[in-house]
Structure 1
Amino acid sequence: MAATILFRGVLAALLTGLALPAAAAEGFDGAQLSLVWGLPFAGILLSIALLPILAPGFWHHHYGKISVFWGAAFLLPFALAYGLGAAGGEVAHVAVQEYIPFVALLTALYATGGGVLLRGSLQGTPLTNTVLLTIGTVLASVMGTTGASMLLIRPVLRANAKRRHKTHTFVFFIFLVANIGGSLTPIGDPPLYLGFLKGVSFFWPTTHLFVPFLFCAAVLLSIYFALDSFFHAREPALEPDTAPREKLRILGASNIFLIGVVVFGVLMQGIWQPGEVTLLGERIGLERLAAIALFALVTVVSLRMTPRELRLENGFGWGAMVEVAKLFAAIFLCMAPVLAILKAGPAGAAADLVAMTSGPAGEPIPWVYFWLTGALSSFLDNAPTYLVFFNLAGGDAAYLMGPGAATLAAISAGAVFMGANSYIGNAPNFMVKAIVEESGVRMPSFFGYCAWALVFLVPLFILCTFLFFR
């Protein structure tokens, strides 16, 4: 009963704040905020990290209420300190400028990716598996890590259905398809899309992260092929497959066109800028509103056009998307004071962190940004972590794409690459794990997966440090 009352009270406070005239976005002075204001942000991220392990049943049934609780833990004290108008303005700023565009894009990619089915006879040989992982790694930057993962995870499962040793395949699938593959465009991974919304040009990641991406992908695919060959040679002899072979074919191909429409919607925001309007007290470009509407239309069209039987065969469901939407509402809201503190730079409560990222003359140290962004992205969430360090580096996209390019590349690579270090680093990681386990394949525990990352990813990222981010 108490939880229900709290839940309703928080919703009422949020709605009341939204109904009031919006204060200027980020109107509070980050230099005057203590680190205590970051506790709700730490709370929601630690809840995401620990509760699925320590109390999985409780988390599964109540993650939405936990999200509301941490949102209220920031918003209610903020309203007391700065007034309901300022609280409503902050909610409006987060919703209009960050949350709604983010969720609209992710939903469109999730729906369209889940509407494409690759059907046919595949045998999980080392070569076949490596080719599938390579295709997924390339597609991740075109249709998003979520879309590519949803498209290919079931074909990979079917191809390896008779293999005894196959857990490693899905671990490397998360490494490559669900994370590193998404490093070349804002479509690929949420952190890069947030950077795009902050002014980073669409093809900047393509040109500046291509060599690190190619290096990491080539190394991991080579290791995987050798590892899978080792395990494949130790498979017990299988009875000949007498079932008729089915040619490979793609069903739901209309969704591939719709994914192209989503890509157009993202590109459009960087090319067409007809002006701004005011929404909930926030100035927002008409191109942003048009893109949100386009993403919503794509989602509806995909759901209407795709046969229900195809989505059922693909194992499509909304549970993972709903969880991401609920949790990110609190993440974006609780992150606001943290970003304000970081934007205050040496004058703020994060001065010690600022000092770590700069040399004696105040110059940024790219490798520090790479590892700090990556370390937090490994165990928290890579999208808000990207924003934290983007703002710590100054938050000026024009400067970061030019003189600060090495720093922005380090932040981008840290967020995208090291999101693979744990199940909670990136949303598709948990989606892949859940689908694989539903199919009866045992996946490593949380810490078991981290051990895989420690063996294969961390040494690779150390090499990347010396090669690209010194």
Structure 2
Amino acid sequence: MGWPFALPFAGLLLSIALGPLLFPKFWHHHYGKVAALWSLLTFAALTSSAGPTPAFEGFIHALLGEYFSFIVLLFALYTVTGGILVTGDIRGTPATNAGILALGTMIASIVGTTGAAMILVRPLIRANLTRRHNVHVLVFFIILAGNVGGALSPLGDPPLFVGFLRGVDFFWTTRHIWPQTAIVAGLLLAIFVVLDWWLSRAEPGMGDKTRREPVRIRGLVNLVLIGAVVANTLFSANWHPGVAFDVFGTHLELQNLVRDALLVVIAMLSLWLTPDEHREANGFNWEPIREVAKLFAAIFTAIVPVVAMLHAGRSGGFAWLLDAVTTPSGAPREVAYFWFTGLMSAFLDNAPTYLLFFELAGGNASTLMQELSGTLAAISMGAVYMGALTYIGNAPNFMVEAIARERGIRMPSFFGYMLWAAAVLIPLFLLLTFLPISPRLGAG
């Protein structure tokens, strides 16, 4: 397949970027139809090229083999974390905001970037809702809690979980890229504190010392349910009964089906055990997860020909990519792996992007963890860190944006956010490129 097969995916990305900016009312009411149209165009193109059966099987694999587990996990975390209510007066001072961002960054590798974002985004919004300058708070929150903080374990971000399933040791990223993560997160927090302090000087009421209602956490049963989500995910990764079901060429393994079913049960338990007033006080509604579900269903289907061209290697439309990440002698270029994995993760789903470059680097977990540890570090950092560059780079980005917009915060457009994130992150990524803090990354 040639580059024209990637046009529906490009059209979908442009629709997501420009629709809310140019046609906000139309987009809000019809974004699902627009997304479905691009998916149907992709299916039509694949049908004309390969026939209806391969096209149908490709779509079934994208939806059942990849998208379903993805959205079920997000649905469970969104539902469970929506039942956690933080009450009390939280003022959006620079110290408070920095503390929430730091907490989100630290817990993201334990409860996942989606879990960390959904637990803390509503208290953060409530604390800053009356501030004149509050957009930057949510932008940095997306970058830190929704992306960078998830770099230290397979539970933190889907790409690392893919690596874990392919044989990468659970604590490998913890041991090997914690210095880079600490440097990036530390510098980001420092930049945020300076920026937030500067903008807060003109905010009224920042010096108010009036005694306020103490902070309390309600709906604590949902913390137990988050632990159940984590335990369920770990169990499914280590339980291999060897039972699978074939659905139009897609193999659905029993452990994954059980995991997804239990995630739905956990979400239902949260709805049952949590008082309705907790979600009402949070301003909880289903629109953000509904928007993510519809748009990412289209992304997972429209990306099918793009991934196929990437997997074709030297015989595909992206043969230049393999040449770009490999020296003439066949050795990997770590810097190229870092930047290509990262930039593609910003616009494609970062889990299959990680897998693609994992396979390009040989696909042998033992070799990548030892002789090619710099390459694996580059792939891991690129997939996780650079997912923060766009709203579609990682699912929490879109969810935080949707929730903030629902609560009245004027979030940047697709391109506006991209400019924000690039201005903050690209200098830090250049620093990572030239600092020899990874076994091989600096020598690429």
Structure-1-length-normalised TM-score: 0.84
Distance 1:327 1:395 in 2: 30
For the pair 1:247 / 2:214, whether they are aligned, the reply is: yes
Distance 1:169 1:218 in 2: 16
Residue 319 (structure 1) aligned to one of 271, 287, 292: 287
One-letter identity of the residue aligned with 2:154: P
Distance 1:365 1:260 in 2: 39
Q: 1:46 to 1:377 in 2, by over 3 A?
A: farther
- Of the structure 1 ranges 451-460 and 260-269, higher mean CA displacement relative to structure 2 is found in 451-460
Q: Displacement, 1:302?
A: 1.3
Q: 1:84 to 1:158 in 2, by over 3 A?
A: closer
Q: 1:110 to 1:402 in 2, by over 3 A?
A: farther
Distance 1:329 1:114 in 2: 22
Distance 2:31 2:206 in 1: 44
Q: 1:47 to 1:231 in 2, by over 3 A?
A: closer
Q: Displacement, 1:117?
A: 1.5
Distance 2:67 2:365 in 1: 19
Residue 367 (structure 1) aligned to one of 335, 357, 374: 335
Q: Displacement, 1:135?
A: 0.5
Distance 1:71 1:199 in 2: 33
How many equivalent pairs are there? 437
- The answer for the alignment partner of 2:180 in structure 1 is 212
- Give ranges in structure 1 of 5+ residues lacking alignment: 1-32
Q: Displacement, 1:217?
A: 0.8
Residue 277 (structure 1) aligned to one of 241, 244, 264: 244
Residue 52 (structure 1) aligned to one of 20, 30, 33: 20
One-letter identity of the residue aligned with 1:268: F
Distance 2:345 2:319 in 1: 21
One-letter identity of the residue aligned with 2:430: I
Distance 2:96 2:164 in 1: 35
Q: Displacement, 1:174?
A: 1.9
For the pair 1:259 / 2:211, whether they are aligned, the reply is: no
1:423–1:446 Cα contact (<8 Å) kept:
yes
- The answer for the alignment partner of 2:375 in structure 1 is 407
One-letter identity of the residue aligned with 2:215: L
1:109–1:143 Cα contact (<8 Å) kept:
no
- Of the structure 1 ranges 205-214 and 247-256, higher mean CA displacement relative to structure 2 is found in 205-214
- The answer for the alignment partner of 2:80 in structure 1 is 112
2:94–2:200 Cα contact (<8 Å) kept:
yes
Residue 121 (structure 1) aligned to one of 47, 65, 89: 89
Distance 1:230 1:317 in 2: 34
> Once the two structures are superposed, what CA deviation does each residue of 1:381-429 show, in whole Å capped at 9, x if it has no partner?
5445444444444555555444443333222322221222233433322
Q: 1:158 to 1:461 in 2, by over 3 A?
A: same
- The answer for the alignment partner of 2:114 in structure 1 is 146
Distance 1:241 1:372 in 2: 49
Distance 1:71 1:162 in 2: 40
- The answer for the alignment partner of 2:171 in structure 1 is 203
2:167–2:365 Cα contact (<8 Å) kept:
yes
Q: Aligned residues: percent identity?
A: 50
Residue 268 (structure 1) aligned to one of 212, 235, 243: 235
Distance 2:178 2:415 in 1: 30
- The answer for the alignment partner of 2:388 in structure 1 is 420
> Once the two structures are superposed, what CA deviation does each residue of 1:156-186 show, in whole Å capped at 9, x if it has no partner?
2333355444333222212211221122233
Distance 1:198 1:40 in 2: 30
Provide the secondary structure at the position in 2 that maps to 1:297. Answer: helix
- Of the structure 1 ranges 445-454 and 308-317, higher mean CA displacement relative to structure 2 is found in 445-454
Q: Displacement, 1:204?
A: 3.5
Q: 1:197 to 1:296 in 2, by over 3 A?
A: farther
- The answer for the alignment partner of 1:98 in structure 2 is 66
Distance 1:157 1:217 in 2: 21
One-letter identity of the residue aligned with 1:113: T
Provide the secondary structure at the position in 2 that maps to 1:118. Answer: strand
Distance 2:262 2:237 in 1: 15
Structure-2-length-normalised TM-score: 0.88
Provide the secondary structure at the position in 1 that maps to 2:214. Answer: coil
Q: Displacement, 1:263?
A: 0.9
2:113–2:156 Cα contact (<8 Å) kept:
yes
Distance 2:349 2:251 in 1: 28
Distance 2:164 2:78 in 1: 19
